[in-house]
């Protein structure tokens, strides 16, 4: 799986960084005088280019560099003030990874969320006390839920001893510094090679200084939208951990015409009764494997709804 992700990561980065440079220098360089931009539009393009690179830098710092310390603080807060739960271990297997000589386990836990609805969650843990056989299937372990769900993590095992991977943070910090230096060098090199005494007028919408960050921002936005579609973002996790479970009646099922990895997107039009006895309607879209299309439920489904927004629902088991 990791090799698969590395391959696609390298594939996408090729089309975001080297490919625009190859295409530009093969077709548009050197820039003829008649093809140069006017001074003010050139400065606007320069500002847009720098804004895009700064947006990428902010996203990197926010999610990859500052994210782990925020997650550590959240774990400590949940351990101190979280909602206690007894979680049933439904599945348990070792990942093959060793952390300081201790085995890492992948667990599937079953427990009640903040609204008392049974849910399942997978998590990775390190077994620092293997002699206790704590992670056997069928056993219950004590855990705590965050009282304000959303940001990862939302569940922490009692007695957990969280710590930062300092080496990983250093690698990310060094990577960020090298990236900043490379982008700054690209600006300096492009200016020296192409200005010809006319400033930044060589900039255009096809220049790598603009295309590269634009493509990378597009990737980031696409991942964010994909996470929203799959309920794999903060909003989806918040609904999972505080949503109220009900059985809904299926009013209509249709394919939307959208596909992801050749899997069609299906829209469910649903009707359910909330805890107050009011009839609510909602629409949910899910990507369904082709081989499962014939088996999708057409009468009743189980869903979670947000007690603060009845139209915000999440299908379970589909």
Give me the pLDDT at residue 259, please: 84
Residue 103 and residue 131 in contact, taking contact as beta carbons nearer than 8 Å = no
Closest CA to 302 of 120, 146, 152, 85: 120
At residue 219, what are phi and psi to the nearest 5 degrees?
A: -60, -45
pTM of the full structure? 0.79
Q: Which residues of the chain have pLDDT under 50?
A: none
Closest CA to 265 of 295, 289, 237, 241: 289
* 19-43 confidence digits (pLDDT tens): 999 999 888 888 888 889 999 999 9
* 9-19 confidence digits (pLDDT tens): 888 889 999 99
* 198-209 confidence digits (pLDDT tens): 999 999 999 999
Q: Which residue has the tokens 């206690």?
A: 84
Angle (nearest 5°) at CA 234 between 109 and 238: 60
Give me the pLDDT at residue 232, please: 67
Distance, in Å, from the CA atom of 188 to the CA atom of 52, rounded to the nearest integer, reads 17
């Amino acid at each position: 799986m990791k090799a698969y992700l590395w391959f696609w990561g390298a594939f996408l980065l090729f089309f975001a960084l080297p490919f625009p440079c190859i295409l530009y220098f093969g077709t548009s360089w050197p820039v003829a005088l008649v093809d140069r931009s006017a001074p003010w539009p050139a400065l606007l393009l320069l500002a847009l280019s720098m804004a895009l690179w700064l947006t990428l830098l902010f996203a990197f710092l926010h999610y990859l560099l500052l994210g782990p310390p925020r997650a550590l603080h959240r774990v400590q807060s949940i351990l101190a003030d979280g909602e206690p739960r007894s979680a049933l271990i439904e599945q348990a297997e070792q990942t093959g990874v060793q952390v300081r000589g201790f085995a890492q386990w992948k667990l599937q836990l079953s427990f009640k969320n903040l609204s008392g609805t049974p849910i399942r969650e997978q998590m990775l843990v390190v077994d620092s006390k293997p002699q206790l056989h704590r992670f056997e299937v069928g056993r219950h372990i004590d855990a705590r839920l965050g009282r304000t769900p959303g940001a990862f993590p939302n569940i922490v095992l009692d007695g957990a001893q969280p710590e930062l991977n300092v080496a990983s943070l250093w690698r990310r910090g060094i990577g960020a510094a090298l990236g900043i230096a490379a982008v700054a060098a690209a600006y300096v090199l492009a200016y020296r090679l192409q200005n010809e005494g006319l400033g930044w007028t060589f900039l255009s919408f096809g220049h790598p200084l603009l295309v590269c960050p634009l493509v990378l921002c597009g990737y980031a936005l696409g991942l964010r939208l994909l996470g929203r579609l799959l309920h794999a973002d903060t909003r989806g996790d918040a609904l999972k951990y505080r949503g109220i479970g009900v059985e809904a009646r299926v009013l209509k099922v249709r394919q939307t015409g959208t596909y992801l990895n050749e899997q069609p997107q299906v829209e469910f039009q649903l009707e359910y009764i909330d805890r107050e006895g009011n009839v609510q309607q909602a629409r949910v879209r899910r990507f369904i494997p082709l081989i499962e299309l014939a088996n999708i439920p057409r009468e009743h489904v189980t869903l979670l709804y947000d007690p603060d927004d009845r139209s915000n629902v999440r299908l379970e088991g589909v």
